[in-house]
Structure 1
């Protein structure tokens, strides 16, 4: 079953179960997928849908930090609930050890010597980690390894 079909099935089951918050989050995801398909005039595959989910999760993280800074915990909780629904559509997340191993391998294979080679390392890692790790955290780890 494709990821898009799974999302549509989950939307139907959320409707039947009258899970309004879950249904709203799934509808937002379906709208984002449909918008991208219409804009680019293509049918999105699982990898492209994962990229859409990843982008939506990043938006939620940004919103949560802003809401918490403004002491609007009610809105931050709503965003966290949407994140929980969206996380179900990402592939299995990488462990900390797996991320470190992949970073070490990318640094060795690219011959990275310092911060100027950060782009090379990220370019090697991004296709393998997209949707499976928080790329901002990965970037911070790479900076720490290249700097020290």
Structure 2
């Protein structure tokens, strides 16, 4: 089942169950996917869909951080709820240990020895963990391995 089909089914279910928040988030995700497809002028591949979903998660995490900093608890709860719904459509996230193992393997593959070669390592790792691990976590682990 494609992501759009799953979103449509979940949207219908959310309407039946009168889950207003979930319905709103699903509609936002669908709109983002459709906008990206229009922008590219073609149907989205799974990888492109994952990129859009990752962007949605990142936007919400950034908003969450800003609202927490501003002390806006009403908006913090709203964004947390939205984030939970968006993450339902993301692939299963890798644990820190799994990401660390991938980082170690990639450092060996690339032959990187110092932090100066961090870009080379990151470029090799990110396609492997796309959508399955947070970029900030990967960045932190790469820095630890190269120090």
- Where on the TM-score scale, by shorter chain, does this alignment land: which range? over 0.9
2-structure distance, mates of 1:45, 1:29: 15
Q: Structure 1: any 5+ residue segments left out of the alignment?
A: none
- Count how many residue pairs are aligned between Structure 1 and Structure 2: 147
Q: Name the counterpart of 2:115.
A: 115
Q: Are 2:126 and 1:126 aligned?
A: yes
Structure 2 match to 1:19? 19
* Structure 2 counterparts to residues 22-61 of structure 1, below 5 A: 22-61=22-61
2:85 counterpart of 1:80: no
After TM superposition, the runs of 4+ consecutive aligned structure 1 residues lying more than 2 A away are none
Instruction: Give the 3-state SS of the residue equivalent to 2:103 in structure 1.
Output: helix
The 5 A counterparts of 1:64-75 are 64-75=64-75
Q: Measure the CA separation in 1 of the matches of 2:138 and 2:97.
A: 12
Alpha-carbon distance, 1:15 to partner: 1.1
Matches within 5 A, 1:134-145: 134-145=134-145
Normalising by structure 1, report the TM-score. Answer: 0.96
Which runs of 5 or more structure 2 residues have no equivalent in the other structure? none
Corresponding position of 1:89: 89
SS in 2 for 1:107: helix
Indicate whether 1:99 and 2:99 are aligned: yes
Q: Deviations over 1:16-73 (max 9, x none)?
A: 1110000000111001001111111110122211111111111111101110111001
Question: Offset at 1:100?
Answer: 0.8
Q: For 1:8 and 1:46, how far apart are their aligned partners in 2?
A: 16
CA shift, 1:10, in A, is 0.8
* Alpha-carbon separation, structure 1, partners of 2:107 and 2:142: 9
For 1:15 and 1:48, locate their aligned partners in 2 and report how far apart those are by CA, in whole Å. Answer: 27
Partner of 1:2: 2
Q: TM-score, normalised by structure 2?
A: 0.96
Whole-Å separation in 2 of the counterparts to 1:6 and 1:118: 38
